[in-house]
Structures are given as C-alpha cells and as structure tokens.
Chain A
Amino acid sequence: MSTHAATGGHLLGPVDQVPVGEGRAFVVDGDQVAVFRLRDGSLRALSAVCSHRGGPIADGTLDRQEVICPLHQHAFSLDSGCSSTGAGPLRTYHASLDDSGNIVIAFPPG
C-alpha cells in the first residue's frame, strides 16, 4: 500500500483482488476497511467492522444498495453507511479506480 501521488488517496493495488459482487478487507492507514466491487463495476468502501457486534462486513452479501453483515443480518447502505435495521452507522470511505485499474481509497473530509 502506498499513498497515491495524484489523488492523495491510498493505493490498494489491482481491483482483481476483489471478486465482482463481493467484498474484501484492507488496512488503510490503520483503519480496517471493507472494499466492495458492485456488479456494475463501481467500488464502495465502509468500515470493515460491524457496529453491532463486530462482525466481518467484508464477508457480507450485497446488492447495489446495501451490504448485509453475515453475523446477525444487519444491513448498511453502501453509500451512506447508515443501517436500515437499527444498527449504528459505519464509517464510509471514497473508493475509486485509477487509470491502471488500481483501487484508491480516500478518507472523507473531516
């Protein structure tokens, strides 16, 4: 992992590490981040630790809107990190692809 010169984001390497429709966990500047590759090819990133009981969010099942934690089925918006099932929100990160097909994670402002 290195800091991306152009964007100031963190470079996590090739997007192929994350299968389509699934998530994988990464360490980004000390944070545990779950990166998801949606079926439309776009990326999303949330805190990798479920706010409910610490479940592995990267192991969750997802669609275009939400990811569902495998432990107790709490659902979180992939865009806002907010839960539709009453759990606390997850931190969101900005995930994108650079020109060489690498995952770039940027911390939200603040």
Chain B
Amino acid sequence: MIGGGLLGLEAARGLQSHGVGVDVVHSGGHLMNAQMGPEGGAVLRRSVEALGIGVHTGSRTTAILGRDKVRGVRLRDKPDLACHMVVVAAGIRPNVDVAVSSGLAVERAIVVDDYMRVQDEEDIYAVGECVQHRGEVYGLVAPLWEQAAVLADQVTGANPTSMYLGSRTATKLKVAGVEVASMGLQGPERDTDEHIVFSEPSRGVFKSIVIRNEKVVGATLLGDSRKVAYLTQAFDRGLPLPEERISLMFDVGGPSEEAGAAELANDAQVCNCNGVSKGKLVDAVRGGFKTVSGVMDATRAGKGCGSCKLMVKQIVEWAADGTVEEEPSATYYVPGIPLDKPALMKAIRDQGLRSVSQVFAALAPGGREDARSKMGLASLMKMMLAGEYIDERDARFVNDRVHANIQRDGTFSVVPQMKGGVTSPQQLRRIADVAEKYRIPMVKLTGGQRIDLLGVPKEDLPKVWADLDMPSGYAYGKSFRTVKTCVGQEFCRFGTGDSTKLGVEIESTFQGIESPAKMKLAVSGCPRNCAESLVKDVGVVAIDGGRWEIYVGGAAGAHIRKGDLLATVDDPETVKLLTGRFMQYYRENANWLERTYAFVPRVGIEHLRSVIVDDAEGLGEQLDAAMQASIEDYVDPWRERADPFTPGQFRTALPLEVLPQVPVRADGQPMPQTEAGREAGDLRVTR
C-alpha cells in the first residue's frame, strides 16, 4: 500500500481482512500527517502495527519492480520490498493544466480570493479541489459546499458582500479500526497557544487540544472518541470552555454529556423522567423560547431528577445556534432574588432579615413573593440563623410541613430513624403493630437501611408517629438523611474499626441538619466497603492500623461518582469533626439543590482539603461553631404530632382518592393494580 493517509490505511485494513499480508509505505515522517502531528502519528503507528500491518514511514517509492507482474517496490535509500500487489492511495493533486495553459495564477492549485474569483481575473471564478484559497487546498467536500454558496451569491449578484473565509475542517472516522478525529490545528503555532496532550500508546489513545483565546482551535483524538461530539461543537461554535481543561478530554465525574447535541437523533429521549425528546426541545426553540429555563418550563424537560439538564442546555444552545439569551438568573441562589449565594447571605445578615417573607420584601424586585424560591430560602435561613430563624411554614415544601414524603396518590411515606441501620426486636415489633393497625399498604426496606411505611394518609401521620414513638428519619427533606453501616467489628471477622458505633454517633450528631441538597452518608469497617462509602456524600472507611479514610462527593444515583479522599485520620473524633466541618462548608457554599458530587469537583478537592483539613483560611473554628449551633437547634419534628404548628397541618388535602393505590393481598404483598384491586380500596371522604 503506497500512502499512509486516511484512504491508504483504510484500504490496507480492507485488504488485510481479505487475508492479504499488507505493508504500508508512506513518504511522510508519520502516518496521517495531514490530520495529526508526529506524536499522534506514532501512537497510531503502534495501533496499526498491532493489527499486523507493517509500516514504513519516511519511505519514498521510486519504482515498482517486475516485468510481467508486480514483484515489489523500490524505496529511496531503503531495501526493496517484495510484494504481489501494489495499491496507490497517495492523495490527490489538482489537475491544473488547463488553468496553467490559460495563463491563470496557479501555485499548488488555482489561486482564488475571498469571492472565489481567480487572482487578477475579473470574470473567472473557481471552486473545489482545484483551487487554492489563502494558501489552503481542500480535499473534502464540505468546504466545496461553502465555496459554492459564495460563488452563487457572486455570480447571481444576490449578495455581492458574500465572502469565503476558509473552512475549519473536522473529520471523524474509523481508520483501520482505530477511531480518529481531527479538527483545525495539529499543534500550537503561537507562544500564547495552550496545548493539552494526553498520550497512552499502550492502549492506542492519544489526545491533543490546542486552545487560543479561550477557544478550541484544533484537536486530535485517537482511539477514544467519547469527547469528539463536544469538542467538534466547541470548535465549530467557539463555545466557552471549562476552567478544568482536563474535562475537555475526559468525563471527570459529575454531570456529563453522553453524546453530542448535534449527533443525537431527533426522536431520542433526552429527559427520561418526563419523556421529552430532542425534537420537542428543538421545536420549543424554533417556537420562540430563547432561554434554557424557558425551554425547560415549556417542555418539562429536566424537571424530574434533573440529571439531563446539561444535555438539555447543550441541545438548546445547539438548536438556537448561538442565539441563546444569557440568563442572569443562572447565578442566583433562588430564581426570585437577584443575588448569588454570598451576596444573598450578606444581605440577610446586614439587614437582619429573619424570615422568608422579610427576604422577599427587602430583596425581591418589587417585593414580589416567588413560590419557586421559598423552599431554598427557608433552608438557607434555617442554616444561617438556627434558633433566630422565624419559621413561616408556607415557605416550606409540603414534605417539610408534614415531615413525610408525598407519594403519587397524595399519601405519605413514613421512615422512622434507625441510626446506622441498627434496630431491635422491640422496634420491629412496634413497627409491625403500627403497620397492621393502620393497614399500611406497603412496608419496604429503604436503600439507607431503614424501614419505609408507604401509603399513610396525611391525617394518620400524627397517630402513626405516636404509636411508633420513634424520631423522624428525615427521609423527605433536603437534609442529612442517614448513615449506612456494615456489620462492623463486633461480628464481622474482617472488621478493622468500630464502624457501626461511629455511624450511629454521626447520625446522632447530625440528624435533621438541613442542607442545599440531601446528604447520604456511610461508614464501612474495612476496605471491602460493604456500606458503599465510596459513593456517598460523606463516606468513611476504617483501614488497618486504627485509621479512617474520609471520602466526599460520591454518588450512586442519577449520577455515579467515586468520592474524593478528603483525609486519612487517626481517630473517630477527628472523623466526626471533619465530617461536620465539610458539611458546614458545603451548606454555606453550595448552590441550592447542588449535590456534593457536583459541589466537590466544582470547588476542587485540594481546596476543600486546605480549608477543612489544613484550616488554611482559618475558617475551621467558625465552621465548627456554626454546625454546633444547628446541632443544638435540633428538635424531632414528629413531636408536632401532639401540638400541630398550623391549623389543619395534618388535614387531608385530597379527599376523594381511592386508597390505597397499591392494593394489598391477603398475604400482605402488593399486587398489580386491577379493577378488582381498585374496588377493594377504601373510599375516603373528608368532612
């Protein structure tokens, strides 16, 4: 095979798949030199050679040997190469004979200006592979389309100012079984160009990105095309780039796109909660919505678990083609108050505001109340003010008003506290009695090692809590939820530290602490990690030698992320101290509804380590004191059973629903909903 470019390599692979031994002879210093620099070429060479194809770079073919048939090729300054077949794929060269003999300006090809006019000729135009524009000769079809559009504008006079300024070519293809993508510059050209390179030849992976003035101006990706769609968009549209450049090359945890907005099929479902396709989002943009939140409101996309928000944003930006309007509200802590979190907290402190209604009156435009802002403000102010906070219950979401999690039929789920997932026969007996007495339709074990009583009508909540006589497990709030533990040292033959005791202590200390989003914790007794500490907001692992590792920012829900190691410490007291300090820093600095898996990578684990472990900013004492104030302010909300906070707090809101929605079999197992099941349900009517 003569020629080690795109076509040559592809043809070599094709021949090889027909059982032919193949050598590639390439005159360039490295393979695919039109698309990539020498380092990428070297990695590609390894991958190609690993397929069993011989590679001879820097080898110029001077003759094809053989009289009656091919017997080999002669190379300049190298030994002859024997073969039975020669395929030539050495690129294209414009046939410019006609142009030259006509006296047109020809260098490598016919020289044209930005109007596609041949140099020094008023009335002769040229487009395509035969032209040279600003020194470039293109061999791809895409630039030709762009040139043709300008030519049409010029010759018809439709738009005399129409100009061709050159094409930015991006190619993505599989060459000889290796994914290759290349766009723009192969490498840096100016001193100020940023060049980011990752090379892992053993896996055939090579990535190079050139950035100029905060824009991607070139990229080469070999062997791993996962970020190609994103980079192509960034290259084509000059998208703003993440500060952490590594995320241009890899998905480094946290929310990430799975496929590029442009590549996604029109009917592909983007929001898997509310069933919104890419096409619906595009329609909304075409229909006039110019902001991401406007499209989200109109389509309901991203209004479920929220894990698709980034993708929705990318599709909207793609569909609007650069006309997306900036949303200043993106930086607001809550949509109805035009302040980011630090400014909002400062204003609340400076003006001595103590309730959500006072915040609206003082800080919202026109003093305008905003239902969508209430919950976030209530949580923030409780965190900031603890006992000084004036608790207006209308600012809370219904879950936080009735201390239970609302279900699809308007009933609630009741999860009593079960610290560290440790229970007792007495507790279990009480729970069983309650489940029977109130005909609880479903009793279920939660992921956080508690017991969930589902389908409890609101009006039964106080009685259920009274009979349980256990504190709330907070399985409904944006708050500290639970600490999962493993069997632990007492019984497990592998246990290295008393993890169960520590888990129970952590839960006792931080129970009910409100936060920008829920916090799920775990403590494992050894590195086998049976409590899954690596995927928790805070996860603790006992390791040999009586030491403890603390991980933060892990997740295994809508997103998967392994937590970052915050510190390895010597005793459980330090674990508790740093856990509290981390949670307080998160409470004070995270955006509303921003889980730790997004917060930790956003601020960076090094920064967190310096603030929380090394106390580099001298904030430690202050954070500890603020957390302590919240801890001391804790009251079990289920105590309100005896003394409701508001009139009708536990009055039913949906009187005429068929209950239970999950019909119950005689054996206590839920059964599929049928007409018979519906008839078996109680009909409850309010009075």
Instruction: Report A's interface with B, CB cutoff 8 A.
Output: 16-25, 27, 32, 34, 39, 48-49, 53-64, 66-68, 70-73, 75, 84-86
Q: A61-B375, A67-B371 are in contact. Are A56 and B647 (CB under 8 A)?
A: no
In the complex, chain B residues 583-623 whose Cβ is within 8 Å of any chain A Cβ = none
A25:B686 contact, CB within 8 angstroms: yes
Q: A53-B408, A85-B300 are in contact. Are A61 and B374 (CB under 8 A)?
A: yes
A32:B656 contact, CB within 8 angstroms: yes
A70:B369 contact, CB within 8 angstroms: no
Interface residues on B, range: 35 or more
A19:B374 contact, CB within 8 angstroms: no
Instruction: Report B's interface with A, CB cutoff 8 A.
Output: 297-300, 303, 357, 368-372, 374-375, 392-399, 401, 406, 408-410, 646-648, 651-657, 685-687
B654:A48 contact, CB within 8 angstroms: yes
Among A32, A53, A59, A68, find the residue whose CB has the most chain B CB atoms closer than 10 A: A59
In the complex, what distance in Å separates the CA atom of A54 from the CA atom of B407? 11
B371:A18 contact, CB within 8 angstroms: no
Q: Which residues of A contact B401 (CB under 8 A)?
A: 22, 59
In the complex, what distance in Å separates the CA atom of A54 from the CA atom of B298? 20
B395:A55 contact, CB within 8 angstroms: no
Among B299, B410, B685, B687, find the residue whose CB has the most chain A CB atoms closer than 10 A: B410
B646:A62 contact, CB within 8 angstroms: no
Q: Which residues of A contact B394 (CB under 8 A)?
A: 19-22, 39, 61-62
A63:B406 contact, CB within 8 angstroms: no
A75:B371 contact, CB within 8 angstroms: yes
B300:A86 contact, CB within 8 angstroms: yes
Q: Which residues of A contact B398 (CB under 8 A)?
A: 56, 59-61, 70
In the complex, what distance in Å separates the CA atom of A37 from the CA atom of B556? 41
Q: Which residues of B contact A48 (CB under 8 A)?
A: 653-655
In the complex, what distance in Å separates the CA atom of A34 from the CA atom of B648? 13
In the complex, what distance in Å separates the CA atom of A107 from the CA atom of B148? 67
Top-4 shortest CB links A-B: A21-B394, A56-B653, A63-B369, A56-B654
Q: A32-B656, A55-B410, A85-B297 are in contact. Are A68 and B651 (CB under 8 A)?
A: no
A24:B393 contact, CB within 8 angstroms: no
A21:B392 contact, CB within 8 angstroms: yes
A17:B368 contact, CB within 8 angstroms: no
B653:A24 contact, CB within 8 angstroms: yes
Distance (Å) between the CB of B179 and the closest chain A CB? 41
Q: Which residues of B contact A27 (CB under 8 A)?
A: 655, 685-687
Q: Which residues of B contact A54 (CB under 8 A)?
A: 409-410, 654, 657
Q: Which residues of A contact B646 (CB under 8 A)?
A: 19, 22
Q: Which residues of B contact A73 (CB under 8 A)?
A: 303
Q: Which residues of A contact B409 (CB under 8 A)?
A: 54
Distance (Å) between the CB of B684 and the closest chain A CB? 12
Q: Which residues of A contact B299 (CB under 8 A)?
A: 86
In the complex, what distance in Å separates the CA atom of A72 from the CA atom of B687? 27
A39:B410 contact, CB within 8 angstroms: no
Among B303, B393, B653, B655, find the residue whose CB has the most chain A CB atoms closer than 10 A: B653
* Nearest-neighbor residue (CB-CB) of B303 within chain A: A73
Q: Which residues of A contact B303 (CB under 8 A)?
A: 72-73
B397:A66 contact, CB within 8 angstroms: no
A-B contact pairs, 16 of them (CB 8 A): A21-B393, A22-B401, A24-B653, A25-B655, A56-B406, A59-B410, A61-B374, A61-B396, A62-B371, A63-B368, A63-B374, A64-B368, A70-B397, A71-B410, A84-B297, A86-B298
Q: Which residues of B contact A63 (CB under 8 A)?
A: 368-371, 374
A24:B648 contact, CB within 8 angstroms: yes
List 13 additional contacts besides A25-B654, A70-B397, A71-B410; criterion CB under 8 Å.
Answer: A17-B648, A24-B651, A25-B651, A25-B653, A32-B656, A49-B654, A58-B654, A59-B401, A59-B410, A61-B374, A61-B396, A61-B397, A70-B406
* Nearest-neighbor residue (CB-CB) of B649 within chain A: A19
Distance (Å) between the CB of A17 and the closest chain B CB? 6
In the complex, what distance in Å separates the CA atom of A64 from the CA atom of B357? 12
Q: Which residues of A contact B393 (CB under 8 A)?
A: 19, 21-22
Q: Which residues of B contact A22 (CB under 8 A)?
A: 393-394, 401, 646
Q: Which residues of B contact A67 (CB under 8 A)?
A: 371
Q: Which residues of A contact B395 (CB under 8 A)?
A: 21
Q: Which residues of B contact A32 (CB under 8 A)?
A: 654-656
Distance (Å) between the CB of B191 and the closest chain A CB? 52
* Nearest-neighbor residue (CB-CB) of A72 within chain B: B303
In the complex, what distance in Å separates the CA atom of A34 from the CA atom of B651? 12
Q: Which residues of B contact A16 (CB under 8 A)?
A: 647
In the complex, what distance in Å separates the CA atom of A56 from the CA atom of B401? 14
Distance (Å) between the CB of B300 and the closest chain A CB? 7
Q: Which residues of B contact A85 (CB under 8 A)?
A: 297, 300
B653:A58 contact, CB within 8 angstroms: yes
Q: Which residues of B contact A19 (CB under 8 A)?
A: 393-394, 646-648
* Nearest-neighbor residue (CB-CB) of A58 within chain B: B653
A34:B653 contact, CB within 8 angstroms: yes
A71:B369 contact, CB within 8 angstroms: no
Distance (Å) between the CB of A63 and the closest chain B CB? 4
Q: Which residues of A contact B408 (CB under 8 A)?
A: 53, 71
Q: Which residues of B contact A61 (CB under 8 A)?
A: 371-372, 374-375, 394, 396-398
Q: A25-B686, A63-B369, A64-B369 are in contact. Are A17 and B656 (CB under 8 A)?
A: no
Distance (Å) between the CB of A104 and the closest chain B CB? 18
* Nearest-neighbor residue (CB-CB) of B399 within chain A: A70
In the complex, what distance in Å separates the CA atom of A28 from the CA atom of B369? 29
In the complex, what distance in Å separates the CA atom of A45 from the CA atom of B657? 20
